[in-house]
Amino acid sequence: MVSKSQERVEILLKASLNSDQSISDEIQSIPCKIEYTGPANIADFFHRETIGQDGEEATTFRGYLLNGTKFQLPAGYKLCVAKEQRNFGGEKRVFNINDKTDHFTIWEYDRRPSLKNPKQKALNFLKIAQELSDD
């Protein structure tokens, strides 16, 4: 007997962009959950200020101070933003790739982005894996 958590699910990514095409200049990782999915006038409310020589930035979001750092993905990697098409259940999930880039900004509430952030840890694991595979 196969439990629900052990069922095989096929995930299909549909690229709507050319291999070298990117829609946005930047992708932001903000530590909050927003239920709204419509358009937003971000430019009027998300003002960034450079505060360090290493690309560190600061901004406020809904009254909270955010500290941010831009991260570059290792060569050969791309970060994709995908949106799931309507899922009717079953064994296949389909995602459309809406954007991609080779860098993004991580924002934190109460500290500078560091190795405590799971996204930055994942980037470091990619670098370690690449170094190990090069040997």
What does the pLDDT read at residue 86? 75
For the stretch 7-39, pLDDT in tens is 677 777 777 666 555 556 678 888 888 888 777
H helices, E strands: number in the chain: 1, 8
Residue 114 gets which letter from DSSP?
-
| Domain boundaries, given as residue ranges, for the chain | 22-134
Q: What is the pLDDT of residue 58?
A: 92
Q: What is the pLDDT of residues 46-96, one digit of tens each?
A: 788 888 777 789 988 878 889 998 888 888 888 888 888 877 677 788 888
Going across the sheet that includes 79-84, the strands are: 10-15, 92-101, 79-84
For 22-134, CATH number?
Answer: 2.40.128.680
**Phi, psi angles (nearest 5°) of residue 69:** -140, 135
